[in-house]
A and B are shown apart, each in its own frame.
Chain A
């Protein structure tokens, strides 16, 4: 006699429902944010298990009135805040310009980071300029905050004769050794174990630089994410691992990646890594969380997984139309607001900014981007050229061009 029943009910396969309906209205009732200032800030050297309760909370500093509250407030001076605001506004102005450039056929493709500027800009500012960044395609704000020339970004997007990457990469897949920004991949997630490897190398070499890696919530399903967490934990790599949960992976809502079952920050728990979950549209909270994780890594306490809870206000890329898979009024109703507006309000509350200065800066940056774009286009665009010369097609495949590539180049030049 055993207790295994001979009959039981039929099994049912659960397919996550696509809740946000294109014809309907925004519904963010699934979000339960913590109030600003409520989450306590642990010391950076606590055992990782002490951070695990934070996986289901949300670190927030800016309250609804634009005041900075609680012990996560990084207490940045107004000049630093204004710098951050400027970099976020420049990122937005740049995005808007390049989005239009693609729409008018000047390049093949573009991806905006609208609504997610705090994640990249505040993080770049909380890290040292020579910490190595392994980003995704939606962290252009990292480069902009580090002062990378807008002109070079544009030339890359136009794949023109001044493109630092010789016209080889899809627009927005930047690379800059000088700015400690690793070459971007179009294959999602691959950069995360690379960030861990770089951090291991830095530790191996007795360096003081750390690495930071980014991944979207959708791509956390890739093996690379789990590889990165395993290696980061096993070797206590000095790395900050960031999941940018912008709710959307093209048309798939975050529950398709398993977001309904547990938060993305909670993925760290099984690996024994420290974790934080932060309001990604709160510049101060993102800055404070990043600084905490960076300080922890730099002090040889290992890696932290940070989930940045944010919202992709625009389309995935210039190739999709969000109104086909989510309500039209979704972006305006995101309960955690807009990162630029929230930092602006905070600065105004502090008496360190004004509507007039804001309008003037907006105008100035729009003009700057327009003028830079004019110069970038003078070096060529994807549709009209000029591009890099034909031999560049065969260069850099290997350090030295092997005979078979020399032969193929000769054949191409000879019109074969």
Chain B
């Protein structure tokens, strides 16, 4: 066990898998010599060689296209998209190709690709370095979509993603790279060290895709969150003084519906929090599922606390960000309904 930041845990996951499986290779913009703009691949080229970890031209569509071909050959490429906001040029290769290869070839070919992409805001990245685009990919059959909230899960989920025989889009909340963030930008930034989920085994382990984690038990209301919003939700629950159960979804597709349903049937109330824009966000799907599964147990309308349906702003970042105050207000509304 070592105390690791999320950056170090992700780096460790790739280090472990490069060591275990010669079919694993990594490429992306600035990931080789430099080690990535967020340092997630730091030292990996030096340790494993240029053949295994290398820089790619600035062409996300080309990276994914090449990765699909490599997957057809039998390799397990890990592609880093420098920011989730830059994933759009790769969507045709991801959505029309990687996601459909197994189906359209009746199982003859597959695309065992892991696409890593830093997502979310909170770093004054403006509209092209802050987006949460997960719902675009959860909508696509054939893809799996994952977003960890802490170093332990990040490493275990990334190893599961790399070993998965289907394409996985792995979103890394960049505001959590170097410390947990509860949505209070005015308070001093905390590092991961000392956080229980920052104790990470040095070697191989997995966190299976499709399993949520109850990060705070409670009985009055269920809060569904993922990524940065898990920490925001926990802060909001404290500030609202609510007996809330907070669930970290970890993997959006496949989704651990059982854990969600068991919780909402117990609490009878549900708040969904995500950073992404509201309309057709993943919260809409969660809300529909909770309604379908738990209608007769619900004692209040389901509440969504989300980013607004605007581009991610620069100066007004904290007005956009669904911070603890807004989540707490949502919890109170649901409790008082």
Partner-B contacts on A (CB < 8 A): 132, 134, 164-166, 168-169, 173, 175-177, 182-183, 185, 187, 190, 192-202, 204-205, 211, 223-224, 227-228, 230-231, 234, 395-399, 402-404
Contacts and interface: CB of A to CB of B under 8 A. Distances in A.
Interface stretch (B101-109, B223-231, B327-335): B101-109
Nearest to A194: B69
Contact of B61 (A164, A193, A201): A193
Contacts, number: 139
B232 to A, nearest CB: 27
A396 B142 CA distance: 9
B93 interface: yes
Nearest to B74: A201
B93 A193 contact: yes
B210 A402 contact: yes
A416 to B, nearest CB: 13
Contacts of B102: 396-399
Given A175-B109, A185-B96, A196 B104 contact: no
Pick from B51, B69, B253, B255 the residue with the most CB of A within 10 Å.
B69
Contacts of B92: 187, 190, 224
Contact of A403 (B73, B141, B257): B257
Given A177-B108, A211-B69, 14 more contacts: A168-B104, A175-B109, A190-B92, A193-B93, A194-B69, A196-B66, A197-B77, A201-B69, A204-B51, A223-B89, A224-B93, A396-B106, A398-B144, A402-B210
B23 to A, nearest CB: 8
Contacts of B70: 197-198, 200-201, 204
Contacts of A200: 66, 69-70
Given A197-B67, A197-B70, A228-B65, A234 B57 contact: yes
B93 to A, nearest CB: 6
Interface string B113-154: 000000000000000000000000000011010000000000
A196 B65 contact: yes
Contact of A397 (B69, B72, B89, B141): B141
Given A231-B57, A399-B166, A403-B257, A194 B68 contact: yes
B243 interface: no
B286 interface: no
B166 to A, nearest CB: 5
10 contacts: A134-B69, A182-B72, A187-B96, A190-B96, A192-B65, A200-B70, A396-B102, A397-B141, A399-B102, A403-B254
B110 interface: yes
Contacts of A195: 69
Contact of A204 (B59, B75, B107, B165): B75
A409 to B, nearest CB: 13
Nearest to A388: B106
Contacts of B165: 399
B97 interface: yes
Contacts of A166: 106
Interface string B68-97: 111111110100000000000100110011
A255 to B, nearest CB: 25
Given A200-B66, A228-B65, A173 B104 contact: yes
Given A176-B108, A397-B102, A398-B166, A190 B65 contact: yes
Contacts of B69: 134, 193-201, 211
A399 B110 contact: yes
B106 A175 contact: yes
A397 B107 CA distance: 9
Interface of B: 25, 51, 57, 59, 61-62, 65-75, 77, 89, 92-93, 96-97, 101-110, 141-142, 144, 165-166, 210, 253-255, 257
A148 to B, nearest CB: 13
Contacts of B142: 397-398
Pick from B59, B67, B71, B144 the residue with the most CB of A within 10 Å.
B59
A234 B255 CA distance: 40
A397 B70 CA distance: 20
A192 B92 CA distance: 13
Given A194-B65, A194-B97, A397-B141, A175 B75 contact: no
Contacts of B210: 402
Those 5 A-B pairs whose CB atoms lie nearest each other, nearest first? A197-B69, A193-B65, A197-B66, A227-B62, A201-B73
Contacts of A211: 69
Nearest to B51: A204
A176 B75 CA distance: 19
A237 B104 CA distance: 26
Nearest to B254: A402
A231 B68 CA distance: 13
B294 to A, nearest CB: 16
Nearest to B54: A235
B209 to A, nearest CB: 10
A168 B103 contact: yes
A187 B100 CA distance: 12
Contacts of B109: 175, 177, 182-183
A194 B166 CA distance: 17
A403 B258 CA distance: 10
Contacts of B96: 185, 187, 190
A228 B93 CA distance: 13
B163 to A, nearest CB: 11
Nearest to B23: A205
A234 B59 CA distance: 12
A338 B74 CA distance: 40
B72 A198 contact: yes
A134 B68 CA distance: 12
Contact of B108 (A183, A196, A398): A183
Pick from B67, B93, B106 the residue with the most CB of A within 10 Å.
B106
Pick from A197, A204, A223, A228 the residue with the most CB of B within 10 Å.
A197
Contacts of B97: 185, 187, 190, 194
A194 B253 CA distance: 26
A134 B105 CA distance: 13
A164 B210 CA distance: 31
A230 B57 contact: yes
A200 to B, nearest CB: 6
A194 B100 CA distance: 14
